[in-house]
């Protein structure tokens, strides 16, 4: 997601008068102490005590929120899925929470998805697979399409289709003035160019038009968990795998703590393929052996049921790892 700076700084004697804003928008307006005031994000260290939180339900709500922030001298920030570990999507002024801007429209004939910026990976995958299609989305189910795409968007499909930003073909953008504009190859193409690689501060993107791609209903996925002592062998296996990997496969390595507090090495991977091809793809990592179960009921590193929807598999893995 993107943020737009306020022309004036907040002063201590500014009194928030949000009654008109509350009555003029379809979404909600919350201040500290109100029911529904929620600053929760994936990282508790990435929040700031916002004076007001606006949760829009339509693009016009975003415009009104921006104009309100400008008129009261409040700095502005935008939060999508709340997955950022920085405070870029937090503010002590007015925070726009895009969580209810999550509608998805599909142009099946032209294979284009029109996805509101607050839609998350899990929402997008569940909807698009109904059409046998997929978008370039994040490897975590809670990532919002807006923030993920505008910041580049590297994921399991990057090897085949490029970054998420490469697949962005249009956007509905609310500028710092509150004006709502379209960015595409024919309208404001310079703005689209900026959105496809420039990141933040061009405006608040309400909806993205993205290329869609044919998608089989199932994928082969792995979640291998290793002991810390195996890290050199794991890295060597990954380095051997990378030069020969196929475009339809990807892996992510991270180091975390298991529920009992002990460090562990986790390798998650997706092969957009059959079970047979997937097993061959990750054989180097499987052959390392001695990976262990964090919770036998929630993670099976040996993938006894290898065909699973991407978001569901990795949501289970993240929860089991207490991520």
| Strand extents, DSSP E, 81-203 | 94-97, 104-107, 112-116, 133-134, 168-174, 180-183
Is the model's pLDDT at 313 over the cut of 80?
A: no
* Nearest-angstrom CA–CA distance, 18 and 39: 18
pLDDT tens column, 160-169: 999 999 999 9
More confident residue, 256 or 168: 168
H or E stretch covering 206: strand 204-211
Output the pLDDT for position 6: 47
Cβ neighbour number for residue 189 with a 10 Å cutoff: 11
pLDDT tens column, 279-311: 999 999 999 985 654 443 333 333 333 323 444
* Nearest-angstrom CA–CA distance, 237 and 231: 10
Q: In the numeric block, which tokens belong to residue 31? A: 């201040």
Q: Are 176 and 5 in contact (CB under 8 A)?
A: yes
Output the pLDDT for position 142: 86
H or E stretch covering 22: helix 19-24
Output the pLDDT for position 83: 85
Output the pLDDT for position 1: 53
**Mean pLDDT within 22-37:** 92
Q: In the numeric block, which tokens belong to residue 112? A: 């284009």
Closest Cα to residue 277, out of 237, 311, 249?
249
- Helix, strand, or coil (residue 174): strand
pLDDT tens column, 200-251: 789 999 999 999 999 988 889 888 999 999 999 999 999 999 999 999 999 9
Is the model's pLDDT at 12 over the cut of 90?
A: no
Across the chain, mean pLDDT equals 85
DSSP secondary structure letter of residue 315? H
CA torsion through residues 275, 251, 257, 317, sign:
negative
């Amino acid at each position: 997601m993107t943020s737009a700076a306020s022309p004036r700084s907040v002063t201590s004697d500014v009194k928030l008068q949000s009654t008109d804003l509350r009555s003029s928008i379809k979404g909600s307006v919350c201040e500290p102490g109100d029911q529904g005031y929620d600053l929760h994000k994936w990282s508790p260290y990435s929040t700031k005590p916002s004076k007001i939180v606006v949760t829009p339900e339509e693009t016009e709500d975003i415009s009104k929120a921006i104009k309100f922030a400008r008129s009261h001298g409040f700095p502005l920030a935008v939060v999508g899925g709340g997955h950022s570990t920085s405070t870029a999507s937090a503010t002590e002024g007015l925070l726009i929470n895009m969580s209810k801007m999550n509608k998805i429209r599909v142009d099946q004939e032209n294979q284009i998805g029109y996805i509101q910026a607050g839609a998350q990976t899990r929402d997008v995958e569940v909807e698009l697979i109904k059409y046998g299609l997929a978008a370039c989305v994040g490897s975590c189910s809670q990532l919002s399409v807006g923030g993920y795409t505008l910041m580049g968007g590297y994921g399991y499909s990057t090897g085949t289709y490029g970054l998420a930003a490469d697949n962005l073909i249009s956007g509905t953008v609310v500028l710092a003035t509150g004006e709502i504009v379209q960015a595409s190859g024919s309208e404001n193409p310079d703005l689209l160019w900026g959105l496809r690689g420039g990141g933040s501060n061009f405006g608040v993107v309400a909806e993205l038009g993205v290329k869609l791609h044919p998608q089989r209903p199932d994928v082969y996925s792995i979640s291998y968990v290793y002991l810390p002592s195996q890290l050199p062998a794991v890295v060597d296996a990954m380095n051997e795998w990378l030069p020969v990997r196929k475009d339809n496969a990807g892996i992510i390595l991270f180091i975390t703590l298991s529920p009992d507090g002990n460090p562990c090495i986790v390798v998650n991977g997706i092969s957009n393929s059959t079970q047979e091809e997937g097993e061959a793809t990750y054989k180097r990592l499987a052959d390392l052996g001695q990976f262990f179960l964090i919770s036998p009921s929630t993670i099976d590193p040996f993938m006894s049921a290898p065909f699973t929807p991407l978001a569901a598999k990795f949501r289970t893995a993240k929860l089991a790892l207490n991520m």
